[in-house]
Structure formats: C-alpha cells, structure tokens
Amino acid sequence: MSQPQALGTRVRIEFAQASDPGRDPNKQVNEDSCGYAETRFGHLVVLCDGMGGHYGGREASRTAIATIFEVIDQAPTGATAATALKAAIEEAGRRVYQLGGPPENRGRPGSTVVAMLIGDRGLDVAHVGDSRAYCIRAGQIYPLTRDHSMVQGMIDAGMLTEAEAIGHPDANKITRALGMRAEVEVEVRPEPMEMFPGDIFLQSSDGLTDLVLGVDILGSVRQALNSGALPHACNQLVNLANDRGGHDNITVQMVRIVELAPRASHTIPQAPAIAPEPAASRPAPPQETRPMAAVDTAAAAGTKLGLPPPVPVPTLLSPSTSSAAPTAPEQGGLPLPPPSPSSPGFAPVQPTAVDRPVAPSPTMPEQPRLAPFAAQLPLPPPSARYAPPQATQVTGQGPSPTHPPEVPKAVPSAPLSAPAGARPSQAGIVYVIIGMSAVIAVLLLLLIWALFLR
C-alpha cells in the first residue's frame, strides 16, 4: 500500500507487510508483531519477534513495539533519528524485562527487534537479536544487520557458511534480546545510509531467514514485483518460507523509496573536492572490449569502496526501478549500502527455558581491519555474513543451485626453498647422519688394522 510522506520529512515511500503463524501446529499463536508509524523523524518501520511461550512471547513483542512507537517522538529537541531510535528500543527492553517479574525469575519472556527510520538524512537501522534488515538496490541484495546469535558467531569465525547455517541445531540460540536483562545493548548504524528512488528495504523475522538465503529472497522479490505490487512480494516470501517447512512464525515488511527531498550532490566523506576539468580537456575514457552484465556496475562500485561483493543476479528488478535511481558521481552506478558494524562485546546471558533460548556468545578471533582507503570512510567493517560468492543464476523460488564458498581455514605450508641461515631440512639431516656414520666406520677399520693386523 502507498504511504504519504511522513511528518517532518519529504521522503515518499510505498509500504507493505505480511505475517503468518507458519506450518508448525505447536506455534499457531503468532508471537511476531510489526507496524508502521509516521513520526517527526520520518517513516518508522518496526518488527519484533517474541519468545518465551505462546502468550508470553506475544505479549513481549506487542509491549516492545508499542513502547517504541510511544517513546520515539518523546525524544528531546535536537536529538538525531539514530539516538531517538536507540533510546526507544532501550526503554522497550526495560518494559519487556518488567513483564518477567522479579529478577530471580529464569523463564522470562523476551523479544528481538529490528527497526528502520527513513528520513531526509537517510536510513537509520537498529536491531537486537536475529531479526534482519536488507537493502535491494540495482538488482543486488545487501544485509544491513548482523545477527546476535551463536550461528552468526560461527559464520564470522569461518566455521560455517550461510548455506550451512540453514537448519543448524543452534539456529534458535541468540546472544542478545529485549527482556533478558534490565538494560539491553542496541546495535545502531553509526551513520545514516544514503537512499535512492527505487531502493527496497526489507525486514523479516527468523521464520524467513532460517529457511531462505539472501539470493533466494532477491529472486522471489524480483519475480513478485514483475507480476504484482509490494504486498504481493511480501506474501510470496511468506509462501516461500512455508513451502520450505514453515517451522516458525513468519513476518516480512517491505519499503520502496518513491521520492526523495531535493538535495545537493553527495560526495564520499573525507575525500578531497577537486574542481572538474572542462569536457574538452578531459581524455576520453578507455573503451571496454567486452559487454558488461547488469551486475558489473554494482560490483565495481563495491570494489572501489572496499565492500564485500553482493550476491550476483543476472538482471535488475525491473527497468522502471533501475532507471529511476540517480547515478552517484565517479562510482560507475548507484553507490552500495555500507554493511553493518561488528557487534560490540556483550556479556554472556545464561540460557533460559523459552522457545528460543539466549546462549552465551562464543569467543571469536579479531576480525581483519579495513583497507587504508576504506578505513578513511565513516563506514563499519564489512559484514561477515556473505563470503565472496560464485556466479549464480536464480531460476525460481527453489533452493539456490550454488552457495557462497566456505571460508578456507588458514593452513601453514612449508616454504619451497630454505633461505640462507635457515634450519636444515629433514632430508639434509639424514644425509649428515649417513656421512658421519661412514666416517666413523672408516676410523674403526683403521683402528682394528693398526692394533691386530700389523
């Protein structure tokens, strides 16, 4: 359904959502809650996934989403959208915690949350738990959040790939949630993300992402938008999760950017501003000798920004959405959304007797630092969710024929040739022993001959 521009912003969007209890007969009480509101900061889209038993989880998610809508506009004057969103989610965590009664109670209700604020300054995203946000731009899909879960920790450490995480026995164990403690650590993007007309932002509960990879989400959305509107795309994703088992409640929200406020041209932060040369004095760019596919433009821009390559798809969503988006200067196409920041350290939470227990977060090795150019930008380090993918064609809503390759573990290998001053090889030691044995044998023979045979 189409939405007017929100209060205090000139951004116009289309918004749709769909929710379903899934196929599990034991989970027919839908514990997910979702909603949309127009605020003084812009369009607010929130999704909460409750846990802790049928009615306890539903009450937790409803309490969380009602609190966020209530508190967001009570932010003090001068607060940014990101700080207001963070404060609202923190207050939601306190109220959900109060639902569990005294602190000594172990079986407490809880909820995950993912929320987006879309305003004139860009897109702000905040989340707690394993509900996710994605951006679909120029025929590619990009994760905007990183799960607070045990399985995500194993993916970050290179122990699992995204494909191997599907159906993992620890997929329901999260390391952060509203209601587990009186104070919750909310992960918020450090800078608003620039938007373009035609961008699609998607939020979902783990009832979808536990069963469907990002490339399958993109293929389903592309096919649905070719034959229908945004609500049809949401329903298609719900049907896709149900077709693959529907083991949990499924909720999907989608936002498409229709119109943005007029603005000055954007440049890369901290990059030097250089006056453009006259067109006549500029050398002609080299001609490409091979035809470029539709995904080459986005991949080249991502390489220049030091970002991970997206999941390749042969064609764009539709000619209308791709042509409506303006082209950023000197990036060969639309700029890519920067990935989510690394999750800061969080104290382990003991498992509780709920449907989706919170588990201690495993200790992970330090992630590699950004390249020098990327480190100059106010962007978070690349998301570890997707390893560099193989080329893949999406033919339908079925499982992806190929998945991103597993991150190889580092295996030390012996050098081809030993440098000067290095320790001798094993073969060299054997030769030395044989030579010394021969010398000793000759000396023994000479000694015997001198003592007995003369």
Spatial distance between the Cα atoms of 50 and 60, rounded to a whole number of angstroms? 6
Q: How does pLDDT run across 237-293, given as a tens digit for each residue?
A: 999 999 999 999 999 999 999 999 776 444 333 444 344 444 444 454 444 433 333
CB atoms within 10 A of CB 392: 18
What's the pLDDT score for residue 168?
A: 85
Q: How does pLDDT run across 113-129, given as a tens digit for each residue?
A: 999 999 999 999 999 99
Spatial distance between the Cα atoms of 437 and 84, rounded to a whole number of angstroms? 81
Interhelix angle 54-72/81-99, rounded to 10 degrees, is: 150
Interhelix angle 230-243/214-227, rounded to 10 degrees, is: 130
Spatial distance between the Cα atoms of 163 and 167, rounded to a whole number of angstroms? 9
Q: What are phi and psi of 356, to 5 degrees?
A: -125, 90
Rounded to 5 degrees, what angle do the CA atoms 152, 396, 33 make? 50
What radius of gyration, in Å, describes the C-alpha atoms of the chain? Answer: 28
What ranges do the domains of the chain cover?
2-262+294-366
Spatial distance between the Cα atoms of 146 and 157, rounded to a whole number of angstroms? 13
Q: Which residue has the tokens 């024929």?
A: 401
Beta strands in 131-249 (DSSP E): 132-137, 140-143, 187-188, 200-204
In angstroms, what CA-CA distances link 272 with 121, 268, 306?
A: 22, 9, 18
Spatial distance between the Cα atoms of 12 and 14, rounded to a whole number of angstroms? 7
What's the pLDDT score for residue 105?
A: 82
In angstroms, what CA-CA distances link 418 with 84, 414, 422, 426?
A: 61, 9, 6, 12
Spatial distance between the Cα atoms of 83 and 77, rounded to a whole number of angstroms? 11
Contact partners, residue 421, CB within 8 Å, separation at least 6: none
What is the secondary structure of 260-280 as a DSSP string? Answer: ----PPP--TTPPP-PPPPTT
Q: Which residues of the chain have pLDDT under 50?
A: 264-282, 284-309, 311-333, 340-355, 360-424
CATH number of 2-262+294-366: 3.60.40.10
Q: What are phi and psi of 364, to 5 degrees?
A: -115, 150
What's the pLDDT score for residue 316?
A: 32
Spatial distance between the Cα atoms of 324 and 318, rounded to a whole number of angstroms? 10
Tell me the residue length of the chain. 454
What's the pLDDT score for residue 297?
A: 36
What's the pLDDT score for residue 391?
A: 39
What's the pLDDT score for residue 357?
A: 55
Spatial distance between the Cα atoms of 252 and 436, rounded to a whole number of angstroms? 77
Q: Are 12 and 259 in contact (CB under 8 A)?
A: yes
Select from 135, 139, 137 the least CA-distant residue to 294: 139
Spatial distance between the Cα atoms of 15 and 214, rounded to a whole number of angstroms? 20
95 sits in the region (left: phi over 0; alpha: psi -120 to 50; else beta) called: alpha
Q: Are 214 and 141 in contact (CB under 8 A)?
A: yes
